[in-house]
Chain A
Amino acid sequence: MFETSFSLNDLWFMLKGAGVTLTVTFWAVLGGSLLGVAFGLMRAVSPWWVNAPIGFVLDIFRSVPLLIQLVLANAFKSIIGLKWDPFTVGCVVLAVYTAAYCTEIVRAGVLAVPATTRRAARSLGLSWTQDLTSIVFPIALRVALPSWIGLTLGVMKDTAMVWWIGIVELLRSSQVIVTRIHEPLFVLSIAGLIYFLMSFPIARLGARLEKRWREND
């Protein structure tokens, strides 16, 4: 017979879903941030004819709903014969989506570093690269961190949409249990609590770094 009440097995099933959510978030944020730093830097220092096309392409990824991107990408990879599993597709799409937002965050951070500060660094004999690594990046990081934390938290919740291409993450696993025991409020409350417990440390870490840096600046 079916079990009709919430069991430890169900909780375990949801926690495994949460593990998938965290894993997808990790790859999406890692890939998206690396790409975002590269594109953001390019956008901050390039002439308009490099800048504009990058901006246009990234705008597409920011404007089209994530759900549509996931479904289209999943279909497209089959059409061109890529042997990616849905998990990879989910991570890649989310990473590109993250990169589109991260690019603007990085660009704004880099542009927030005063030109006079960079000029002072160059006047001491620092090369363009040294100026970037020793002066621009650390200052830009402080400017960009709050937005980046916000983006990460947002992406973690957006991972719920990979359910549509067949990945069982936290929300999907909750839905499975709801279907069986017909206790949506109870199950979703637990899912919400798990999302909160995953987000909270990241938000706190961000707040702590911000506070520490503000004491200095």
Chain B
Amino acid sequence: MSIEIQDVHKSFGNLEVVKGVTMTVEKGEVVSVIGGSGSGKSTLLMCINGLEPINSGRILVDGTDVHARGTDLNKLRRKIGIVFQQWNAFPHLTVLENVMLAPRKVLGKSKAEAEAIAVQKLSHVGLGEKLKVYPSKLSGGQQQRMAIARALAMSPDYMLFDEVTSALDPQLVGEVLDTMRLLSSEGMTMIVVTHEIAFAREVSDRVAFFHKGRIHEIGPPAQVIGAPQQPETVAFLKSVL
């Protein structure tokens, strides 16, 4: 049980943004990905659940080749939850309906089952009081927690977080990070692309530093953040801390 990324290259037109990335994330692990803007870290996340095609290399999720022709991506995505920088609430559905949608449509759950799951997940992220509200009435932090609950409702084996606090007002960042802390303490396998270095240091088993489409340094947070070996890592950490 793992996500294996093997020498993945990804270009947009002539611009190569991921230039040969190899790493493995084992079940139960929390791996944070840090690095400057445009270093390819968000793109890599999109490639993991097949939202973006890759140019070469392979990504295996529990042994399934994500980008192989015969792979049923809709099925594969059930076990990979992803939360984006923009929370992307479905504006025409209530908070409860937002979370119920995928279990009903994709997993074929009954209304009652889906509702039970949704209520449980929403309570888990602290939104048990907001079930009947429309997303527009929520703060950014609440909407982002709803997005997390929406992904969790599919009972994924892996959770990918793409700079989920970057678009939030500073005072709302904490509540979202708390929710992610909770997940990591429950043993959820997570790949967290983030600019929150302190958070990465605290919750991660390993930290990967991306620079210009490559992993420059990967290892335990105490090493990559505490005692970085590469000059690029040192320079990056200096700029964000």
What distance in Å separates the Cβ of A75 from its nearest Cβ neighbour in chain B?
46
Q: Which residue of A lies closest to B134 (CB)?
A: A216
B88 touches A124 (CB 8 A): no
Q: Please tell me which stretch of A15-23, A125-133, A182-190 contacts chain B, meaning at least 4 of its Cβ atoms lie within 8 angstroms of it.
A: A125-133
What distance in Å separates the Cβ of B101 from its nearest Cβ neighbour in chain A?
6
B86 partner, pick from A116, A123, A127, A216, beta carbons under 8 A: A116
A117 partner, pick from B82, B90, B136, beta carbons under 8 A: B90
A116 touches B88 (CB 8 A): yes
A120 touches B136 (CB 8 A): no
Q: A119 contacts the other chain (Cβ, under 8 Å)?
A: yes
A120 touches B84 (CB 8 A): yes
A122 touches B77 (CB 8 A): yes
A125 touches B102 (CB 8 A): yes
Q: A5 contacts the other chain (Cβ, under 8 Å)?
A: no
B74 partner, pick from A117, A125, A142, A213, beta carbons under 8 A: A125
B82 touches A123 (CB 8 A): yes
A213 — which chain B residues lie within 8 A by C-beta? 92
Q: Please tell me which stretch of B13-21, B117-125, B147-155, B233-241 contacts chain A, meaning at least 4 of its Cβ atoms lie within 8 angstroms of it.
A: B147-155
What distance in Å separates the Cβ of B131 from its nearest Cβ neighbour in chain A?
14
Q: B214 contacts the other chain (Cβ, under 8 Å)?
A: no
A126 partner, pick from B49, B105, B136, beta carbons under 8 A: B105
Known contacts A216-B91, A216-B92; A134/B105 CB under 8 A: yes
B105 touches A130 (CB 8 A): yes
A114 — which chain B residues lie within 8 A by C-beta? 88
A119 partner, pick from B51, B90, B102, beta carbons under 8 A: B51
B77 touches A139 (CB 8 A): no
A127 touches B92 (CB 8 A): no
CA distance A56 to B102 in the complex (A): 39
A130 — which chain B residues lie within 8 A by C-beta? 105-106
CA distance A135 to B97 in the complex (A): 12
A123 touches B51 (CB 8 A): yes
Interface centre among A114, A123, A127, A216 (most CB of B within 10 A): A123
Q: B75 contacts the other chain (Cβ, under 8 Å)?
A: yes
Report A97-152 residues with CB < 8 Å from chain B CB.
114, 116-117, 119-127, 130, 134-135, 138-139, 142
Q: B211 contacts the other chain (Cβ, under 8 Å)?
A: no
B106 touches A139 (CB 8 A): no
B92 touches A124 (CB 8 A): no
A126 — which chain B residues lie within 8 A by C-beta? 74, 101-102, 105-106
CA distance A138 to B78 in the complex (A): 23
A-B CB contact pairs (8 Å), 19 listed = A116-B84, A117-B88, A117-B90, A119-B51, A119-B84, A120-B84, A120-B88, A121-B90, A124-B102, A124-B151, A124-B154, A125-B77, A125-B106, A126-B102, A127-B74, A134-B105, A213-B92, A216-B92, A216-B136
Q: Which residues of B are in contact with A by a Cβ distance under 8 Å?
A: 49, 51, 74-75, 77-78, 80-82, 84, 86, 88, 90-92, 101-102, 105-106, 134, 136, 147, 150-151, 154
Q: A122-B74, A126-B102, A126-B105 are in contact. List 18 more A-B contacts (CB 8 A).
A: A117-B88, A119-B84, A120-B84, A120-B90, A120-B147, A123-B84, A123-B151, A124-B150, A124-B154, A125-B77, A125-B102, A125-B106, A126-B101, A126-B106, A135-B90, A138-B92, A216-B91, A216-B134
